[in-house]
Structure 1
Amino acid sequence: MVLSTDLDKQFGFARGHLERLSGVFSRHVCQEDDDQITLAVAAARLAMQKAAVGPGEIDLVIGACGVPYQPLPTTAPLVMHRLGIPEGNAAAFDVNASCLSFLTAVDLAAGRIAVGQSRVALVFSAEIASRALPWKEQPDVAALFGDGAAAVVLTVAAERDSTIRASVMRTYPSAYEACEIGAGGTRFDFQRQPAEFAAHAVFRMDGKELFRITRRHFPGFVDELLAAAGWSPADVDLVVPHQASPLALKHMIQQTGMPGARVVNIAARFGNQIAASIPTALDIAWAEGRITKGMRLLLLGTSAGVSFGGMAIEV
């Protein structure tokens, strides 16, 4: 765990400066001898242990990382291999919807299970968000992020098992450039455009533009999700949101009208873990006893692109 005061000292800021800018006072940072695959495998093994599922039972592995291990091949096959899942026993691929990758992957896995294409699916999100941060240009943005990983196992539902009541995603691409890492794909040629490639290899975010589009559209999106589930706001027992930032969570609570006591808020302690934020918050809520059988959960998030996503679940 790295405190914001540690980063103040490292980057030459006055003590307390980064916490005042970001609202985040601590976050996990991956050690030099660890990597994204190590984090993913550790999270996956814990999920498999809790679900009492062995490697030979898994027939679908979906990597749900906002930033992959490398551009090609995808991350999921390597995680599948490290977990000892027999070759040819499972399909393994990635889904990338930025910070909404976990929800998108769970939705896809549930759909495949529902139509009989899979029986046991593993979805993992592992992020090393501490790399490629704009410490010189946007320290307030860089201080928001932390590393982390989480995973879930989905199986064919038995009677009285958890149920997904609704899943909705809506995209507003007019703000496409408000949150991005431009290099690493085909946009810039490393051989012909080394300066452009390097300049766009660091994360950039326009917080004001993201706030503008979220304020305009997010409340209506939440209404649409609740209507799809057949719920009213009063029916929701717990909201598990993407931990974009402490300020973003404060605005979300105000916009949706959900009481703060019903919102899992770990942003100040863990920072923004990109796609791993929602499953990490979900796991912490379980561990703290905030989720019990019969509860109605609302998983909510925003992502670069810009997209809003949500899932209504009866536990």
Structure 2
Amino acid sequence: MGQVRARAIGCGHYLPERVVTNEELARRIDTSDEWIRTRTGIRRRHIAAEGEKTSDLAIAAARAALANAGLTASSLDALVVATATPDQTFPSTATRVQYGIGMPNGFAFDIQAVCAGFIYALANANGLILSGQAKRVMVIGAETFSRILDWDDRSTCVLFGDGAGAVILEAAEGTGTAADRAVLATCLHSDGAHNRILYVSGGPSTTGLAGHLRMEGKEVFRHAVVKLAEVAEEVMAKAGVEGGELDWMVPHQANLRIIESTAKKAGLPMSKVVVTVQDHGNTSAASIPLALSTAVADGRIKPGHLLLMEGIGGGLAWGSALLRW
């Protein structure tokens, strides 16, 4: 007798048209291309146009994923959007996306775990499928972080960009082993004691305003390297696989130095790491599905490849997922 697993059957992404280079930022604030590149690896980022909302980015990514899978929105049972930059306080951005793609049935909701949001959303979608609540679920990470940046703070405004990525999961019969083409394991963690090192200075019940992103970069770096290495080991142990079996690591694209340190601790060469931070910057919950979709589109990730995905963000919240594509 087989076991129900959540299999990835399609993906897609969307980036706003406007590209902002390091050189352009250097004309606006006290920074330079060299300063940004040597500290982060970022060369450029995409910025949403005036009036372009998080839901607009998510809808475009969702349509791309549906086309990639050869499906229509009416075939979806559920839609989960991971975002820290919703269109409105309520209703959820997911319901706007549901309507925007023409999904007449099922249900939609948001998840907020900042840069770990896609992993949290993927874990929830996996649970919906394993429990029988849904048979086909779209998971989207979408952000317009440019709307919450302090453009006078050179330590943060150079780091982030806007974008969206989507993955479709479908119930499929598997063997219950690591050979299945499916979500093999997920691990989630959070620790609210570290709120102060990465947060937004506003909200409905505090200032009544959206606020701006604030970050203690060195502290975030320190926690990221340790916690991501630990959660990578945890998820592999949970699935019963070794690091040498991985085909790709698809990490949260926050900072090239964090990615390199995490890969080194996992014993992976950078040739097995999908890196898009140089072109996209940190797109928070969108960064992992954006990187995943980019690597699928250019042929690096192929059916049967074993992927390790991981991310950490404000909260602190962090997690990992092991997926055989």
TM-score (norm 2): 0.87
Instruction: Report how far residue 74 of structure 1 moved.
Output: 1.1
CA-atom RMSD, angstroms?
2.0
- 2:16 maps to which residue? none
> 1: distance between equivalents of 2:32 and 2:243?
43
> 1: distance between equivalents of 2:247 and 2:304?
10
- 1:54 maps to which residue? 72
Instruction: Report how far residue 183 of structure 1 moved.
Output: 0.9
- 1:301 maps to which residue? 311
Q: What one-letter code is carried by the residue in structure 2 that aligns with 1:59?
A: D
Q: 2:60 aligns with which of 28, 42, 50?
A: 42
Residues 1:157 and 2:172 aligned together: yes
> 1: distance between equivalents of 2:158 and 2:42?
7
Instruction: Report how far residue 168 of structure 1 moved.
Output: 0.5
Q: Residues 103 and 218 of structure 1: is their aligned pair in 2 closer, same or farther, counting only changes over 3 Å?
A: closer
**What do residues 201-223 of structure 1 show as CA deviations (whole Å, max 9, x unaligned)?**
11001111112323444333222
Equivalences for residues 2-41 of structure 1 within 5 A: 2-11=20-29, 13=31, 16-41=34-59
Q: Secondary structure at the match of 2:63?
A: helix
Q: Residues 13 and 297 of structure 1: is their aligned pair in 2 closer, same or farther, counting only changes over 3 Å?
A: closer
- 1:275 maps to which residue? 285
Equivalences for residues 1-315 of structure 1 within 5 A: 1-11=19-29, 13=31, 16-86=34-104, 89-137=105-153, 139-158=154-173, 162-188=181-207, 190=208, 201-315=211-325
Q: Secondary structure at the match of 2:23?
A: helix
Instruction: Report how far residue 13 of structure 1 moved.
Output: 4.3
Instruction: Report how far residue 240 of structure 1 moved.
Output: 0.3
> 1: distance between equivalents of 2:152 and 2:62?
35
Q: Secondary structure at the match of 1:34?
A: coil
* Cα pair 1:101 1:275 within 8 Å, conserved: yes
Q: Residues 131 and 22 of structure 1: is their aligned pair in 2 closer, same or farther, counting only changes over 3 Å?
A: farther
Percent sequence identity over matched residues? 32
Q: Residues 15 and 238 of structure 1: is their aligned pair in 2 closer, same or farther, counting only changes over 3 Å?
A: closer
* Cα pair 1:4 1:26 within 8 Å, conserved: yes
> 2: distance between equivalents of 1:222 and 1:55?
33
Q: Secondary structure at the match of 1:10?
A: coil
* Cα pair 2:141 2:164 within 8 Å, conserved: yes
Q: Secondary structure at the match of 1:311?
A: strand
Instruction: Report how far residue 21 of structure 1 moved.
Output: 4.7
Q: What one-letter code is carried by the residue in structure 2 that aligns with 1:245?
A: N
* Cα pair 2:232 2:308 within 8 Å, conserved: no
Q: Secondary structure at the match of 2:148?
A: coil
TM-score (norm 1): 0.90
* Cα pair 1:8 1:16 within 8 Å, conserved: no
- 1:194 maps to which residue? none
> 2: distance between equivalents of 1:291 and 1:23?
22
* Cα pair 1:242 1:302 within 8 Å, conserved: yes
Q: What one-letter code is carried by the residue in structure 2 that aligns with 1:258?
A: L
Q: Which stretch shows the higher mean deviation, 210-219 or 242-251?
A: 210-219
Q: Secondary structure at the match of 2:115?
A: coil
- 1:193 maps to which residue? none
**What do residues 74-122 of structure 1 show as CA deviations (whole Å, max 9, x unaligned)?**
1111111111222xx1111111111111121121112112222112212
Q: Residues 220 and 151 of structure 1: is their aligned pair in 2 closer, same or farther, counting only changes over 3 Å?
A: closer
> 2: distance between equivalents of 1:307 and 1:125?
15
Q: What one-letter code is carried by the residue in structure 2 that aligns with 1:177?
A: R
> 2: distance between equivalents of 1:85 and 1:213?
40
Q: Which has the larger radius of gyration?
A: 1
Q: Which stretch shows the higher mean deviation, 238-247 or 286-295?
A: 286-295
Q: Residues 296 and 209 of structure 1: is their aligned pair in 2 closer, same or farther, counting only changes over 3 Å?
A: same
Instruction: Report how far residue 253 of structure 1 moved.
Output: 2.0
Q: Secondary structure at the match of 2:249?
A: strand
Instruction: Report how far residue 129 of structure 1 moved.
Output: 1.5
> 2: distance between equivalents of 1:178 and 1:294?
38
How many residues were matched structurally?
A: 303
